[in-house]
Amino acid sequence: MPSDKNIIAIFKKSFFLDELINLISNEKFHIKFFKSLREITEYPSKQKIILIDISIDHKLDEINKIIKSKNNQAKILIFSKKDLNLEDINKEIYSINLPIIFRNFVKILHHVADGNKDISPLAKIGNLIFYPKRSSLIDEKKQAEINLTELENKFLKFLIINRNGSTKNEILQKVWGHNKVLHTHTLESLIYRLRRKIEKNPSKPDFLIQKKNKYFLEV
């Protein structure tokens, strides 16, 4: 069985766990359970996905040790009932808020598994993970997928790559791909649609911003 379909996990026995096992089995994932983090670090196989229930008195610094162990290529998904600040821990650790929506969790699981097949995320925008090759954003907290149009996807990728900002004319040439006059309302319409998808408050954006004559994406 391909290693990116193998999962190792630590969970409390519960109805939730039974549902989770049935769910991922139907998706052709194979799951193996452990009783402690130490067992995971000593497990010889280089698993691709590790699921950990943070409610079992696991500390983030202990979990981070797994990244530095034999499983240093693994993607770790932490299940928690509270918001976790993982930015300073490791970029390979993802937070999944409980209770989960199973159908959305399956999408996240596939995204994580496929990350080793050149379908990896380009950037993280707040709680959103941007997958340009799938033209979508994954909301880690809500476990929801947000689809992007071809133009939205191209524009978002362009702003991420061009960290120093881009003028209206540069966006016209690189995103629209022609030299015709780009009406202001056309660009504003695109920005408005994207802000509705990535911002908590589109009228007061934190990520897709304008400074003087340039547009930036703060990530």
pLDDT by position in tens, the chain (length 219):
445 577 888 877 666 677 778 878 888 888 888 877 777 777 766 666 888 887 655 566 677 666 666 555 677 787 777 666 555 454 566 777 777 777 777 777 777 776 644 445 568 888 888 888 778 888 877 777 888 998 899 999 899 888 889 988 888 888 877 655 656 678 888 999 999 999 999 999 999 999 988 999 987
| Cut 0.75: pTM above it | no
Q: What is the pLDDT of residue 118?
A: 42
In a domain, 140, yes or no: no
Q: What is the pLDDT of residue 117?
A: 47
The rounded distance, in Å, linking the Cα atoms of 39 and 101 is 29
Q: What is the pLDDT of residue 68?
A: 65
Yes or no: say if 219 and 177 are a contact pair by the CB < 8 Å rule: no
The answer on 103 and 57 residing in a single domain is: yes
In a domain, 144, yes or no: no
The answer on 112 and 22 residing in a single domain is: yes
In a domain, 79, yes or no: yes
Q: What is the pLDDT of residue 26?
A: 80
CA-wise closest residue to 216 among 152, 158, 154, 159: 159
Residue 184: give its domain's CATH number: 1.10.10.10
Domains in the chain: how many in total?
2
Range of the domain at 102: 3-116
Q: What is the pLDDT of residue 112?
A: 73
Q: Name the residue with tokens 């061009």.
A: 162
In a domain, 145, yes or no: no
Neighbours of 139 (CB within 10 A): 17
